[in-house]
Amino acid sequence: MTQTLTLRRPDDWHLHLRDGEMLKAVLPETARHFARAIIMPNLVPPVVTGAQAAAYRDRILAALPEDMRFEPLMTLYLTEDTDPADVAAAAASGLIKAVKLYPAGATTNSASGVRDFDKVRGVLEKMAEIGLTLCVHGEVTDPEVDIFDRETVFIDRVLDPLRRVTPGLRVVMEHITTSGAADYVRGSDTDLGATITAHHLIINRNHILVGGIKPHYYCLPVAKRESHRVALVGAATSGDARFFLGTDSAPHTDPNKESACGCAGCFTATNTMSLVAEVFDHEGALDKLEGFCSLNGPAFYRLPANEERITLEKGAPVSYPAHIVSGEGPVTVFDPGFPLHWRVA
């Protein structure tokens, strides 16, 4: 018997679209289901000024198929040379909705990120003043810190002190991966939110390493042990408005994923709604799905929820392509390792 669920059209609060041929290939995969997305600025070179963000937005809209409706929500890449006035002007014009903090070297194309946080204090104070959100990749890059501890150490060493010295700064901890991060959000005020990815709701570190290395499950922050995955599922399905969907869908061609030094990232844009619906259904929390996917994010970013609706249907297992084709090469679609019964009608 077919089961249906109607909810407001969802948004993706953390998305990589890349540029050029890859942008053309992956954009329709997101725009098919999502109305808006926070667009990551870690291109080469990164999007660091309002003018660059405007040009990137124009390239995105030019690549959007004519029969699709989608709004890219632009961000600036925070560097130690970022001009507070440029940030404020880009925000005032409505061009950008956030600034992205990458600790230098934390993930793909993050070499231009921040090393000395004292050098960005002026930008953060201006953002607190105007209510502009700071999105953080919450990991330290100290080589002495174990990769599985980077998120926990970041909260203690960087994020909590940064928030204490910048009162009023609105922060989104992106793609949280630990129970400690979820607890930190719960214990904080409403100026702190967190995105959770579809893949971190599904995989733990065993999926990456047991029985051979699975490069298409390798992402940053890396998936942690099962107890942390369970905690993330609990946070996502709790109804707490501070947690919302940010896929961190990150396309890399198969040769770049499957090389001797494979790129980090899971490409989930194609099947995200099936993935999260399956997780919420398993937890008996379908009544919380609309909040996580469609309501909590807009509320945090002080934007209206989408009026348009989508309908999910549960039935026979859904088939998705193993790859999408891009002008740069094939991109593998995330495979959860179990049947998906929910699809967007």
Residues 267, 328: contact at Cβ < 8 Å? no
Distances (CA, A) of 308 to 59, 301, 305: 25, 19, 9
pLDDT averaged per 10 residues, the chain (length 345) = 90 98 98 98 95 98 98 96 97 98 74 83 97 96 95 96 96 98 97 98 98 97 98 98 98 97 97 98 97 98 98 97 98 98 97
180-193 as b/e: b if 16+ CB within 10 A: bbbebbeebeebbb
- Is 175 annotated as ligand-binding? yes
**Three-class HEC string of 139-150:** CCCCCCCCHHHH
Assess whether 67 carries a catalytic annotation.
Answer: no
What is the CATH number assigned to the segment(s) 3-344? 3.20.20.140
- Is 248 annotated as ligand-binding? yes
Residues 221, 138: contact at Cβ < 8 Å? yes
**Which of these, 203, 197, 257, lies nearest to 226 by C-alpha position?**
203
Burial class (CB in 10 A: 0-12, 13-18, 19+), 89: middle
Burial class (CB in 10 A: 0-12, 13-18, 19+), 261: exposed
The active-site residue out of 11, 12, 240, 248 is: 248
Q: Report the predicted TM-score, pTM, of the whole model to 2 decimal places.
A: 0.96
- Is 228 annotated as ligand-binding? no
- Is 18 annotated as ligand-binding? yes
Polymer length of the chain = 345
Q: Locate 83 and state its tokens.
A: 């001009």
What is the per-residue pLDDT for 113? 79
Pairing outcome for strands 329-332 and 323-326:
antiparallel
Cα–Cα distance measured from residue 53 to residue 292, given in angstroms and rounded to the nearest whole number? 27
The dihedrals phi and psi of 236, each to the nearest 5 degrees, come to -65, -40
What is the per-residue pLDDT for 106? 66
113: left (phi over 0), alpha (psi -120 to 50) or beta: beta
Residues 105, 113: contact at Cβ < 8 Å? yes
- Is 16 annotated as ligand-binding? yes
What is the per-residue pLDDT for 117? 86
Radius of gyration of the chain (CA): 19
Letter for the amino acid at 281? D
Can you spell out the DSSP letters for 56-71? HHHHHHHHS-TT---E
Q: Residue 103 pairs with which residues in a beta bridge?
A: 114
Can you spell out the DSSP letters for 106-159? SSTT-TTSBS-GGGGHHHHHHHHHHTPEEEEE-----TTS-GGGHHHHHIIIII
> In the chain, what are the domain boundaries?
3-344
Cα–Cα distance measured from residue 166 to residue 162, given in angstroms and rounded to the nearest whole number? 6
